[in-house]
Amino acid sequence: MASVRQESPQGGEWITTTGGQLSVPDNPVIGFIEGDGVGPDIWKASEPVFEAAVRLAYKSTRSLSWWEIPAGEKSYRQHGHYLPDSSFEMIERAGVVIKGPLTTPIGGGFRSLNVTLRQKLDLYACVRPVKYIKGTPAPVIRPEDVDMVIFRENTEDVYAGIEWKSGSEDALKLIRMLKETMGVSLDAKSGVGLKPMSPDASKRLVRRAINHALEKKRKRVTLVHKGNIMKFTEGAFRDWGYELAREEFADKVILEPELADKYDGIIPEGKVLLNDRIADSMFQQVLLRPREYEVLALPNLNGDYLSDALAAQVGGLGMAPGANMSDTCALFEATHGSAPKYAGLDKVNPGSMLLSGAMMFEYMGWNDAADLIVRGISAAIQDKTVTYDLARLMPGATEVSCSGFGAAVIEKMQSFTS
């Protein structure tokens, strides 16, 4: 991949990370990637909301300096590369980036642009807060009971992409090797994949989940796995999670047996309960007993499934924020796809991007701006001023465009601060 020369942003200052602590100036440089398909539409609707939230929350004391980072189809049209090497450098330099959805090019040499970003930047934690926004149509009776944060491991599991096509020379070679050296017989026509999971990657994900629970005063962290069947991968994820808790959080974490024996079923102040659940059971638990779960830590594939299923409980991916994070870099993004058939129609719901922006501001410590965005979205929805996806589920709703919804959110935010 080639590099693309990009001018440094004017007027802003860099966000820095020292010893794991984020330092955010009053006029930070924030990287952005418009994205593909509907990406430009939702960015055009969202960027004015972000600007308004900062202006209304902090008057003239804080501002944003946007820095566009080449990626996806726009980058290919302008520079001949979907992901130039310089884009990775820019993301690392900015430290905080917000992006729209990216479409993986057909035959373009990438398994996935999003997965490539996560792997090359070691964005090992996919963080997905799932919380109901009042007024949103939802398929469950009590969507307000859902208030969870998912920490999904991003770099290993089947998403590592270590697999070989059915009938290929490499697949046949591996099938022969397994039979000759380990006595494992597979159908010779099988496609074959490997599922690597390591102690270090599992532990750093669980560490981040426990730290989040302690910082945000959440009471429960649940390891979700399929260790009853995959004992040396998913079962090991569970074991490494408990091992990490004993090694680094012995004075902060209690386990389920202790809760009843030592604490009469009540989690003491300043402590976190660490437990685990089998993945298939967990899908029932989040429907039937969502109030019992707050922070979930999962391997990659299970985390992918469960985060989308939880988003459906609170209204769908259009209302679901997310971020992919390393220890020094955070990439906030709309969690839905690029929906190319709606590209340029100014039609889709920008809620996921807006809420990811609120999540970004919270990460930066700009909580007043984050709160304004969430309140503005909720007020617009309760007023039944919504995009087509929600309007069709809300009798009496006023259907507005993508940019129209952004304008409605700004109007509501202004009413809170006037």
Residue 21 pLDDT > 90, yes or no?
Answer: no
pLDDT-derived band at 2 (thresholds 50, 70, 90) equals low
Kindly state whether residues 115 and 18 are assigned to the same domain.
Answer: yes
Indicate if 190 and 202 belong to the same structural domain.
no
Mean of pLDDT values over 126-144: 94
| pLDDT value, residue 261 | 87
Residue from 41, 276, 304, 389 carrying the catalytic annotation = 304
- 195-240 pLDDT tens trace: 999 999 999 999 999 999 999 999 999 999 999 999 999 999 999 9
- pLDDT, tens digit, for every residue of 179-191? 999 999 999 999 9
Instruction: Specify the pLDDT at position 405.
Output: 98
Give the whole-angstrom CA distance, residue 66 versus residue 44. 13
Same domain, 2 and 86: yes
Separation between Cα atoms, residue 408 and residue 373, nearest integer Å = 11
Q: Is 203 a catalytic residue?
A: no
**Among residues 195, 203, 226, 347, which one is catalytic?**
226
Yes or no: say if 376 and 414 are a contact pair by the CB < 8 Å rule.
no
Co-location of 280 and 308 in the same domain: yes
**What is the average per-residue pLDDT within 99-116?**
78
Burial of residue 182 (CB within 10 Å: 0-12, 13-18, 19+) is exposed
* 153 and 296 belong to one structural domain: yes
Indicate whether 262 and 354 sit together in one domain.
Answer: no
Same domain for 142 and 268, yes or no, is: yes
Query: What was the pLDDT predicted at 19?
Result: 82
Write down the pLDDT at residue 111: 67
Which residues sit in the known binding site for Mg(2+)? 304
In this structure, the answer to whether residues 12 and 64 fall within a common structural domain is: yes
Give the pLDDT score at 5: 58
Residue 3 pLDDT: 60
- CA–CA gap between residue 337 and residue 68 (Å, rounded): 20
Q: Which range marks the domain in which residue 347 is found?
A: 1-136+320-417
CB-CB contact of 138 with 130 (8 Å): no
**Catalytic pick from 159, 271, 346, 389?**
159
Last residue of some domain: 314, 333, 362? 314
Final residue of a domain: which of 276, 296, 314?
Answer: 314
Q: Return the pLDDT at 265.
A: 87
Determine the residue type at 84. P
Q: 303, 306, 267: which is closest to 287 by C-alpha?
A: 306
Q: What is the pLDDT of residue 106?
A: 62
Q: Mark whether 190 and 246 lie in a shared domain.
A: no
pLDDT for position 329: 94
Does residue 226 carry a catalytic annotation? yes
Catalytic residue among 26, 85, 200, 280: 280
The sheet with strand 321-325 has its strands ordered as 65-68, 29-33, 96-99, 330-334, 321-325, 125-131, 147-153, 295-298, 220-225, 272-278, 253-255
Residue 23 CA to chain centroid, in angstroms? 22
Q: Are residues 324 and 248 in the same domain?
A: no
Instruction: List residues forming the annotated binding site.
Output: 103, 112, 114, 118, 128, 152, 304, 336-342, 349, 388, 392
For 268-279, write each residue's pLDDT tens digit: 998 999 999 999
Q: Which residue has the higher pLDDT, 11 or 397?
A: 397
Name the band, by pLDDT with cuts 50, 70 and 90, for residue 159: confident
From 294, 314, 334, the end of a domain falls on: 314
Residues 27 and 68 in one domain: yes
Query: Helices 351-364 and 39-58 sit at what angle, rounded to 10 degrees?
Result: 40
**Is the pLDDT score of 402 beyond 80?**
yes
Please give the annotated binding residues for D-threo-isocitrate, written as ranges.
Answer: 112, 114, 118, 128, 152
Q: What is the pLDDT of residue 354?
A: 97
Q: Is the pLDDT of residue 7 over 70?
A: no
Given a cut of 90, is residue 113 above it in pLDDT? no
**Which residues are annotated binding-site positions for NADP(+)?**
103, 336-342, 349, 388, 392
Instruction: Please report, as a single letter, which amino acid is at residue 94.
Output: A
Q: Let me know if 99 is a catalytic residue.
A: no
349-380, pLDDT tens digit by residue? 999 999 999 999 999 999 999 999 999 999 99
CATH number at residue 385: 3.40.718.10
Residues 199, 371: Cα–Cα separation, whole Å: 37
Mean pLDDT on 51-71: 96
Residues 324 and 308 in one domain: no
The tally of domains found in the chain comes to 3
